[in-house]
Chains A and B, each alone.
Chain A
Amino acid sequence: MDLSFLAIQALNGLSSASSLFITACGLTLVFGVTRIVNFAHGSLYMIGAYTAATLVPRLLELSFGPVTFWAGILASAIVVGLIGVLIEVLLLRRIYGAPELFQLLATFGVVLVVQDVTILIFGPEDILGPRAPGLRAPVEIFGRRFPSYELVLIAAGPVVLGLVWLLLRKTRFGVLVRAATQDREMIAALGVNQALLFTGTLFLGAFLAGLGGALQIPRVSAHAGMDLSIIAEAFVVTVVGGMGSVPGAFLAALVIGQLQAFGILIFPKSTLVVVFLLMAIVLAVRPYGFFGRPEVIGGAHAVGIASRERSPFATLAVIAVIGILAALPLIGDAYVLKVATEILIFALFAFSLQILIGVGGLVSFGHAAFFGLGAYGAALAVKWLAFPMETALPAGLLLAALGAALIGAFVVRLSGIYLAMMTLAAAQIVFAVAFQWVDVTGGDNGIVGVWPSTWASGPTTYYFFTLALTAAVIVLLMRIIDAPLGYALRAARDSTARAEAIGLYIRRHRWLAFTISGAAAGLAGGIYAFSRGSVDPTLLGIPTSVDALTMLLIGGIQTVTGPLVGAGVLHVLRDQIMPLTSLWRLVLGLSIIAIVLVFPRGIVGTIRNWREERT
């Protein structure tokens, strides 16, 4: 490997780093001020690319030249900025009072809506933008050709960094943004117009996302998968750099760019894992990323299940619900039973997440890891050890519990958003292993032929089997919520300092919670694997984690029954909408947004609230 090659590869890394930084910079600013983890940031990036790829060629037809090109790029970024304002005013502003996770759910609704609307507006085909006038020809560096546009991109990163730095340091808006990043309540108390500040920040964040996307058009065609492919990396950059820190994002982007450029030489087949491995290592060593600060004590209010007097009818209600569910095979056909089986599985999955979020205040973005480990554990046991279902299910549960114990050991040292991101990184690492260790896991083909034992294979029997297992485990978990462990977790959630002061060993309790929750999710995963007959890496993917969160939030994170209701609502919605229209993402996204606006505490939580207000 000669030196010139290494230099070119480093330049390749730098230009990727620049693009990544510009996008991630917007994400980190928005998070710093509004505390919103904006899943829709990738969608804004995609809109930027589509707008520029459509707009710039039209402008170039009018007058060809570098000025037009760059004006078009800027105009596209401004359009995206305005869309950001629209999202803030119409949606986010209405739910700042809701638990922070709710805003995340709302932005996820936006992601779904944008996916369909983009194809509606711009058409299904990928759009390759024009090359930049004056920058078509490559330049010769160390005897190798290098695209001159990439050089411009390399410069664009530091330029944006400089401009954002000036904006933050030299303008009143910048002072406010920095103040809000440090202590949001304080600047509200000082009489700063928060609405305007938030709108401004959203504009800036969306503008940067749009700019990041628009700058891509000479090298990447605008296509429908862009949003999700950038968002994971943008998260990594913001977390590794420290949430809210712009210079941190720059440094992180540089490191990640180089890692990717040289990573493909060493591990040409394991490109996915390196980025998340970096994030896990950084967080293990520096819990707040490069330049992040610990959250202000009391700054983040974890909300969750509170103690409340048990209704005298609670036990009766549980028995009644189980009774009704057990009677379902009398009226439902095979397909209804299949859907009901899946709802039960997801209810257990969402409920296991509730142990972490609602009870422990530990927001996990990577709960799919345990679900998937359970499914893969069972499937691998069937494939390699020829286990029957009766032993494969416990094997899956065991693998998930071990995985949760291991991941939990790293995670419980962290808190807040960093904890959430560490779980995401862990899940992505497990995902990458399942995806790229083809010999054992079958890669993206997954493992097929994971069918239940003969006695349980009919839809009715399997439904009863699922009902028995999920009901037993959920009742057990409900019991744990009211057991000393549950109380200890809730104490630690509400005030870490006080809980420690009365002698609770918080980390150990949290670690236990992780293990229990992971085991329950793993059981759900195992049952799911046998109901479908196959496993594949999507079970471990971000969308599965988001699903669990969505169910939990739709139902209500402050209630015990919320996740169960949420699982039912989301699954039925999806099952009903998907066959109706090819625009099901749009409809589902709008439904999620509507639920967020109408039920800002989740369905169960809001209904309970209405009832309590009336009495």
Chain B
Amino acid sequence: MTKASMTRRLALGLALALSSPSAQAQQPSIKLGELNSYARWAAFTVPYRNGWQMALDEINAKGGVLGRKLEIISRDDGATTGDATRVADELVTREGAVLLFGSFQSNVGIAMADYANQKKILYMAAEPLTDAITMAQGNRYTFRIRPNNFMQVGMLVDQAKASGAKRWAIVAPNYEYGQSAAEVFKRLIKERVPGAEIVAEQYPALGKIEAGATVSALEQAKPDGIFNVLFGPDLTQFVREGNTRGLFEDATVLSLLTGEPEWLLPLKDEVPEGWTVTGYPWDEITDPKHKAFIDAYRAKFNETPRLGSLLGYMVVHMIRDTIERAGSVETEALIKVLEDAKFDTVIGPVTMRGVDNQATMGAWVGKLVLKGAHGGMTDWTYKDGTPFMPGEAEVKAARKD
């Protein structure tokens, strides 16, 4: 290498380095399409929005990804399947979103999965929990972060074994999520607890529970175990009526999601102590990386994190990593990278299992307890999702692809 060419290279390099800021500024941002039920399920989705906003700010402060800034275009999905797919279409065709993520209700998640499959665009189902999204209705374009019903119910049923309860009652909202959770529970409790039977089932319409009548109807069956899938306003009514009427006193109660602050805080001091739940004991987290996230979140928004906050934060970071590894925003490239991808998240390593596009994110399982004026979790453990996932043979039998 001659001296002249060396100088020239240096000069060229310098010129490139100097010009790069303006070159970067001209790089258009990467647009991510986001949709969620911000009006209908504000309790969960507003903290979730804070979470992804925080991740977005962090990522862009570090220069974005692939030298481009990330931009999230967010819409309300109206909490209905029709609105959601319409909004999704708008995000893709008008805004030019390179991928989609979000949605809350399970039925909306299924419609979004179908949309993703039809339009061949990547969809990250952040919250919807029904198994169908990664099983019967699953497709190669749809990925899910949170542990699904099968996994979470599996964690709870393990806890139920010790209680000795045999006569189980089910109360679940009458839509995809509730139906799916109830179905999984019926199957797992019979498989794993010999002699268990279902003595009562109540399926109030979502958001329309007649709590007094429902509690009386369950009481009538004299169950020694209750499996609850209600959340949100239905849950508060159910708990209050149940507490007053002593429904929970002699029963083992397993409850999905009730330990999550978004559903627990509205119960105030009426927390049904001793319920075994999945949730998010943010106040007792000691792991330094996770703790740092919690502290930063509290400082930034001046409120305590919900599970939604954590989820929104994690999803956007995972998307960032995916884009960086793919080196492109092409759907096929992203899907290729996502297969069995390992992510280092604030809660530890998470793998995106290739066979069903279900992440191995786990859940915190523990008991509800009253801490001052509010409820919290005690006696909890974080259960990694891996051992609770449905077997690969079962997945292959259920999925159509």
Contact = CB atoms under 8 A, between A and B. Distances in A.
Interface of A: 1, 5, 8-9, 12-13, 15-16, 115-116, 119, 124-128, 131, 138, 144-147, 150, 218-221, 223-226, 229, 260-261, 264-265, 268-269, 271-272, 333-335, 338, 436, 438, 443-446, 448-449, 451, 532-536, 538-539, 575, 578-579, 582, 584-585
Contact of B174 (A5, A145, A436): A436
Contacts of B389: none
B44 to A, nearest CB: 9
A126 B76 contact: no
> 8 tightest CB-CB pairs across the interface, nearest first?
A124-B42, A12-B212, A221-B236, A223-B233, A448-B114, A147-B244, A126-B266, A536-B81
Given A115-B39, A335-B90, A128 B216 contact: no
Contacts of A436: 174
B93 A334 contact: yes
A264 B202 contact: yes
Given A220-B233, A223-B233, A138 B245 contact: yes
B42 A125 contact: yes
A536 B114 CA distance: 13
Interface in B268-301: 268, 270
Interface stretch (B9-17, B61-69, B203-211): B203-211
B233 to A, nearest CB: 4
A536 B82 contact: yes
Contact of A221 (B110, B115, B233): B233
A436 B178 CA distance: 13
Contacts of A13: 213
B176 A578 contact: no
B90 A579 contact: yes
Contacts of B211: 219-220
Given A1-B220, A124-B46, A221-B236, A532 B212 contact: no
B233 A449 contact: no
A271 B208 contact: yes
B165 interface: no
Given A5-B220, A219-B240, A229-B208, A532 B86 contact: yes
A128 B268 contact: yes
B214 interface: yes
26 contacts: A124-B45, A125-B265, A128-B267, A128-B270, A138-B246, A219-B211, A223-B232, A224-B39, A225-B207, A264-B214, A268-B201, A269-B174, A271-B210, A334-B93, A335-B94, A443-B176, A445-B110, A446-B81, A533-B115, A534-B85, A536-B107, A538-B81, A579-B75, A579-B90, A582-B38, A582-B76
Interface string B68-92: 0000011110001111011101100
B105 to A, nearest CB: 8
Nearest to B92: A335
A538 B82 contact: yes
Given A223-B233, A271-B205, A445-B81, A536 B111 contact: yes
B219 interface: yes
A444 B38 contact: no
B213 A146 contact: no
B240 A448 contact: no
A585 B79 CA distance: 14
Contacts of B266: 125-128, 221
Contacts of A12: 210, 212-213, 216
B382 interface: no
Interface string B225-236: 000000011001
A225 B219 contact: no
A260 B213 contact: yes
Nearest to A538: B80
B339 interface: no
Contacts of A451: 118
Q: Which of A124, A144, A269, A333 has the most CB of B within 10 A?
A: A124
Contacts of A535: 82
B179 interface: yes
A147 to B, nearest CB: 4
A444 B176 CA distance: 7
Contacts of A584: 76
Given A125-B42, A229-B208, A579-B95, 15 more contacts: A13-B213, A119-B39, A119-B42, A126-B236, A144-B216, A219-B211, A219-B237, A220-B211, A229-B207, A338-B93, A436-B174, A445-B111, A533-B115, A582-B38, A584-B76
B152 to A, nearest CB: 20
A264 B245 contact: no
A221 B237 contact: yes
A225 B105 CA distance: 15
A539 B82 contact: yes
A446 B115 CA distance: 13
A448 B233 contact: no
Interface string B310-344: 00000000000000000000000000000000000
A444 B86 CA distance: 17
Contact of B246 (A145, A272, A443): A145
B120 interface: no
